[in-house]
């Protein structure tokens, strides 16, 4: 269990978690054992066609119009895309991710979606988080059920416990610090108000006491302040620091908002994808002692329309993109089955047709990385998904082989 002072030290490390004087990186001898998993949910519907543009698809440029990117140079939508293969590229803001791709540690998966193909943010997110085939299919989260099946710890690096981690399994919570120091004058004015409340008086007094106990708290928190463009990287670094600890959680969850781009999409996503890229970098550095045993999955609730709308944005769609990265990942390729972007190949003549169920990716990770059985995956974690095969080949052969040897030894 992480103590309060240790937690403040780790938070204070911010993006420099691996080099902060208050928290030294674990040595090889002290490196945490066992696999690690980070799940990142981008709420709002990331446009997968903007993040992983299919520049080699014959229908891409015509359908995207002013939002089309090119690996051959800058366009109206942004700088030169970062070519991955003959068909796909990455958005120019994803430079660190492109570097991981070159190291075979980053795997984009195209045309992915949850089983729910509607266009409601809330229903789609509920489906992603509950792990069933419908928004109301389960009252608990699949990641909580996975933690329970592993009899291990989980971490929610969020301000409110999300559905994906709700359930009977124990989940530790960490919330990012407030943007600015709370004014003493404000506290003085609040004290009479809270002091007369029978429910809130005691917690308020305890918070004030704890605030004064550690004179160095502001110095510890300084590196983790939530400033523009650094919220997601800071939280990702904190999650990586927790996962890198011996005895810490093996599963963590992070979320981010602001991916609903109905208007003025190109500059918004240039900024948001840069934040995501910095977050991947920050997580990589913070989790470094466990990087070789780490898998991270970035998911969103749906993709967006293939065509730009009248306000230089896109509307709610179907097939989107997922990212799988980490030292245990067999990357350096583009995963999933690409359905094409000719008008006749679109879903309802407007969206990329989804060909990969997001649950297949998560089943592949949990099965290969943590050794969970097909029965547990299909009945408990993703109920009713027996006909859905886990996506294979997500892990390096050496990692999968080590997991297989461990499972065989356990079965003996």
pLDDT digits (tens, 9 = 90+) for 4-52: 444 444 444 433 333 232 233 344 345 567 999 999 999 999 999 999 9
CATH of the domain at 345: 3.40.720
Q: Is the pLDDT of residue 363 over 70?
A: yes
Most confident of 29-38, 112-121, 183-192, 212-221: 112-121
Give CA–CA dist 346/88, Å, rounded: 18
Task: Over range 222-232, report the average pLDDT.
Answer: 58
* 1, part of any domain: no
Task: Over range 187-196, report the average pLDDT.
Answer: 63
Task: Over range 285-293, report the average pLDDT.
Answer: 96
Give CA–CA dist 365/358, Å, rounded: 11
* 376, part of any domain: yes
Give CA–CA dist 228/231, Å, rounded: 7
Give CA–CA dist 158/19, Å, rounded: 24
Residue 389 dihedral angles phi and psi, to the nearest 5°: -80, 140
* 203, part of any domain: no
What's the pLDDT band for 114 if we cut at 50, 70, 90?
Answer: very high
Q: Is the pLDDT of residue 269 over 90?
A: yes
Query: What per-residue confidence (pLDDT) applies to 207?
Result: 62
Q: Give how many domains the chain has, as a whole number.
A: 1
Q: Are 132 and 138 in contact (CB under 8 A)?
A: yes
Phi-psi region of 294 (alpha: psi -120 to 50; beta: other; left: phi over 0): beta
* 210, part of any domain: no
Task: Over range 325-345, report the average pLDDT.
Answer: 97
* 56, part of any domain: yes
* 206, part of any domain: no
In this prediction, what percent of the chain has a pLDDT beyond 90? 73
**In this structure, what token pair is assigned to residue 204?**
């308020």
Give CA–CA dist 58/139, Å, rounded: 43
Q: Is the pLDDT of residue 138 over 60?
A: yes
What's the pLDDT band for 68 if we cut at 50, 70, 90?
Answer: very high
Give CA–CA dist 307/31, Å, rounded: 48
Query: What per-residue confidence (pLDDT) applies to 226?
Result: 46
Give CA–CA dist 5/182, Å, rounded: 20
Give CA–CA dist 22/6, Å, rounded: 9
Task: Over range 211-230, report the average pLDDT.
Answer: 44
Its domain, for residue 159, covers: 37-179+225-411
Of the listed ranges 170-184, 225-239, 379-393, the least confidently predicted one is 170-184
* 257, part of any domain: yes
Burial of residue 112, with CB atoms counted within 10 A of its CB: 0-12 exposed, 13-18 middle, 19 or more buried: buried
Give CA–CA dist 301/269, Å, rounded: 16
- 160 Cβ neighbours under 8 A, 6+ residues apart: none
Give CA–CA dist 401/398, Å, rounded: 5
Query: What per-residue confidence (pLDDT) applies to 141?
Result: 98
pLDDT digits (tens, 9 = 90+) for 150-168: 998 899 999 899 999 999 9
What's the pLDDT band for 205 if we cut at 50, 70, 90?
Answer: low
Query: What per-residue confidence (pLDDT) applies to 259?
Result: 97
Task: Over range 85-101, report the average pLDDT.
Answer: 98
* 100, part of any domain: yes
C-beta neighbour count of 292 within 10 angstroms: 16
What's the pLDDT band for 396 if we cut at 50, 70, 90?
Answer: confident
Q: Is the pLDDT of residue 398 over 80?
A: no
Bridge pairing between strands 320-325 and 154-156 = unpaired
Task: Over range 331-345, report the average pLDDT.
Answer: 97
Closest CA to 33 of 331, 209, 293, 263: 293
């Amino acid at each position: 269990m992480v103590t309060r002072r240790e937690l403040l030290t780790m938070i204070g490390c911010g993006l420099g978690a691996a080099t902060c004087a208050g928290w030294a990186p674990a040595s090889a001898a002290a490196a945490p054992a066992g696999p690690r998993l980070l799940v990142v949910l981008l709420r709002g519907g990331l446009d997968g066609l903007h993040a992983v543009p299919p520049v080699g698809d014959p229908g891409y440029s015509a359908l995207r119009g002013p939002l089309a990117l090119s690996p051959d140079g800058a366009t109206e939508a942004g700088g030169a895309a970062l070519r991955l293969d003959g068909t796909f590229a990455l958005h120019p803001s994803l430079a660190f991710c492109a570097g991981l791709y070159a190291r075979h540690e980053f795997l984009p998966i195209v045309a992915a979606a949850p089983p729910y193909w509607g266009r409601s943010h809330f229903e789609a997110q509920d489906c992603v988080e509950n792990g069933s085939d419908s928004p109301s299919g389960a009252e608990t989260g699949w990641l909580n059920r996975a933690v329970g099946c592993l009899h291990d710890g989980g971490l929610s690096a969020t301000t409110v416990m999300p559905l994906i981690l709700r359930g009977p399994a124990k989940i530790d919570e960490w919330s990012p610090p407030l943007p600015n120091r709370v004014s003493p004058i404000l506290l003085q004015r609040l004290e009479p108000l809270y002091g007369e409340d029978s429910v809130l008086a005691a917690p308020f007094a305890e918070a004030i006491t704890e605030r004064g106990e550690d004179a160095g708290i502001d110095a510890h928190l300084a590196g983790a302040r939530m400033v523009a463009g650094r919220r997601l990287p800071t939280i990702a670094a904190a999650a990586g620091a927790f996962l890198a600890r011996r005895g810490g959680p093996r599963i963590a969850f992070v979320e981010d908002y602001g991916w609903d781009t109905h208007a003025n999409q190109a500059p918004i996503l240039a900024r948001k994808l840069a934040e995501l890229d910095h977050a991947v970098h920050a997580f990589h550095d913070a989790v470094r002692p466990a990087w070789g045993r780490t898998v991270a999955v970035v998911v969103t609730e749906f993709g967006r329309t293939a065509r730009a709308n009248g306000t230089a944005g896109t509307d709610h769609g179907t097939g989107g993109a997922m990212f799988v990265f980490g030292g245990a990942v067999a990357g350096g390729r583009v995963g999933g089955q690409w359905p094409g972007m000719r008008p006749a190949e679109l879903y309802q003549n407007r969206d990329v047709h989804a060909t990969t169920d997001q649950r297949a990716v998560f089943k592949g990770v949990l099965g290969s990385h943590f050794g969970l059985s097909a029965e547990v995956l299909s009945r408990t974690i993703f109920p009713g998904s027996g006909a859905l095969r886990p996506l294979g080949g997500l892990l390096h052969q050496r990692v999968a082989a080590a997991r297989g040897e461990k499972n065989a030894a356990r079965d003996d």
